[in-house]
Amino acid sequence: MQKLDLQQQIIGQIKAFNTIIIHRHEKADPDALGSQVGLAEIIRASFPEKKVYVVGTDPEGLDWLAKMQVVSDATYQQALVIVTDTANRPRIDDQRFDQGQKLIKIDHHPNDDAYGDIQLVAAAASSTSELIFDLQASTAELQLSTAAARLLYAGLVGDTGRFMFANTSPHTLNVAAELIKADFDASLINRNLDTLTPEQARLSAYVLEHMTILPSGAAYVVLSTATLAALKVSVAQAHAVVSLPGKIAAVTVWSVLVEQAPDNYRVHLRSKGPIINELAKAHDGGGHPLASGARAYSDAEVQTIIHELDQIAQNNK
């Protein structure tokens, strides 16, 4: 189905329901929050009479961007539920997403888990925030408030790495230009997204000192719970160093493996060119071709992932 047809269907459902509950993925990043709460602000500005809720765990370190709401189970009974920026159902924050009358998925990840009554999925888009802007721009019935523009801009900047990633298209830059016409401080958004706590700065130094770079161009670093505790950094805060290995010229693919509990690692995978999301899928994960996440459930699986990442780098030299 064409994108415009899907947009019209989604707008029709938004108009039809008086209660709308919007979800996004767990461990929210700027695009998850930007698309989720940005869409909520668009609907609130366009249809003030509707009840619009955003749910999930309040994100650590991003409370300056948005906060979540508490919604009762009963509220779902007559509600439209929209899930943004979430490729598969297990990653949806607040698993009541399937308790509404209708379910819509809006996402820019590969559609490996095709859930929802309506699915607006565009893997070529830079971000889900870009898709939400396009939805709003497709009709005069949806109003782009300043609050919404601020959130969507944060999501756009976050998922493009401040426009450094290959997912930045001419359309992405046009969207950014339209968003910053609104009355918010875009430079403050950029600074906030680039700011490290003192603890994260020390973690960055640790990563640079302890990272292993293999002859193939693959690099990795394992952050144990003991290391995080010693540096006073949470698992969520460790996300700030995921892009750091890519600043080194010799590195083409890399992984930051963060221990969350014994035999449970959150695996961040990134690449400057070689495709790494198939590796992620093989280890309980997925994502974009050059930016994915996975899980490892033992030290042996950690070593397997490192070996497979090395092979990908070797095969792409």
Look up the pTM and report it.
0.91
Q: What's the CATH number where 85 sits?
A: 3.90.1640.10
> Is pLDDT above 90 for 108?
yes
Tokens 């490996």 correspond to 112
Nearest in space to 43 (alpha carbons), one of 72, 84, 14 = 14
Are residues 120 and 50 located together in one domain of the fold? yes
Q: For position 149, what pLDDT does the model report?
A: 98
Q: For position 287, what pLDDT does the model report?
A: 86
**Per-chain mean pLDDT for the chain:** 96
Can you tell me the distance from the alpha carbon of 29 to that of 242, in angstroms, rounded to the nearest whole number?
Answer: 13
| pLDDT tens-place string over residues 209-246 | 999 999 999 999 999 999 999 999 999 899 999 999 99
Are residues 64 and 166 located together in one domain of the fold? yes
> Is pLDDT above 90 for 207?
yes
Bridge partners of residue 118, in order along the sequence: 104
Are residues 285 and 301 located together in one domain of the fold? yes
- How many domains is the chain built from? 2
Can you tell me the distance from the alpha carbon of 157 to that of 127, in angstroms, rounded to the nearest whole number?
Answer: 9
Higher pLDDT, 41 or 286: 41
Instruction: Tell me if 171 sits within 8 A of 131, measured CB to CB.
Output: no
Boundary (domain end) residue, out of 193, 217, 248: 193
Instruction: Tell me if 241 sits within 8 A of 205, measured CB to CB.
Output: no
Are residues 187 and 246 located together in one domain of the fold? no
Tell me which DSSP letter residue 80 carries.
Answer: E
> Is pLDDT above 70 for 83?
yes
Boundary (domain end) residue, out of 193, 224, 245: 193
| pLDDT tens-place string over residues 136-163 | 999 999 999 999 999 999 999 999 999 9
**Stretch 244-263: mean pLDDT, rounded?**
96
Are residues 270 and 150 located together in one domain of the fold? no
Q: For position 117, what pLDDT does the model report?
A: 97
Are residues 45 and 153 located together in one domain of the fold? yes
**Stretch 56-70: mean pLDDT, rounded?**
93
Are residues 213 and 75 located together in one domain of the fold? no
> Is pLDDT above 70 for 206?
yes
Chain centre to alpha carbon of residue 298: 26
Are residues 93 and 228 located together in one domain of the fold? no
Are residues 95 and 224 located together in one domain of the fold? no
Q: What's the CATH number where 223 sits?
A: 3.10.310.30
| pLDDT tens-place string over residues 160-180 | 999 988 899 999 999 999 999
**Stretch 38-51: mean pLDDT, rounded?**
98
Q: For position 34, what pLDDT does the model report?
A: 98
Task: Write out the residue range of the structural domain in which residue 246 sits.
Answer: 198-315
Are residues 117 and 220 located together in one domain of the fold? no
Specify the pairing of strand 253-261 against strand 218-223: parallel
> Is pLDDT above 70 for 1?
no
Boundary (domain end) residue, out of 129, 158, 193: 193
> Is pLDDT above 70 for 205?
yes
- Phi and psi of 253, rounded to 5°? -135, 150
**Within 13 Å and on the Cβ side, how many CA atoms surround 312?**
27
Are residues 153 and 33 located together in one domain of the fold? yes
Can you tell me the distance from the alpha carbon of 207 to that of 184, in angstroms, rounded to the nearest whole number?
Answer: 35
- The CB density around residue 220, as the number of other CB atoms within 10 Å, is 22
Q: For position 221, what pLDDT does the model report?
A: 98
Are residues 114 and 72 located together in one domain of the fold? yes
Joined together, the tokens standing for residue 170 give 């001419």
- The CB density around residue 264, as the number of other CB atoms within 10 Å, is 13
Tell me which DSSP letter residue 75 carries.
Answer: G
Tokens 């999501």 correspond to 155
Can you tell me the distance from the alpha carbon of 290 to that of 271, in angstroms, rounded to the nearest whole number?
Answer: 5
**Stretch 83-108: mean pLDDT, rounded?**
96
Tokens 């609050």 correspond to 147
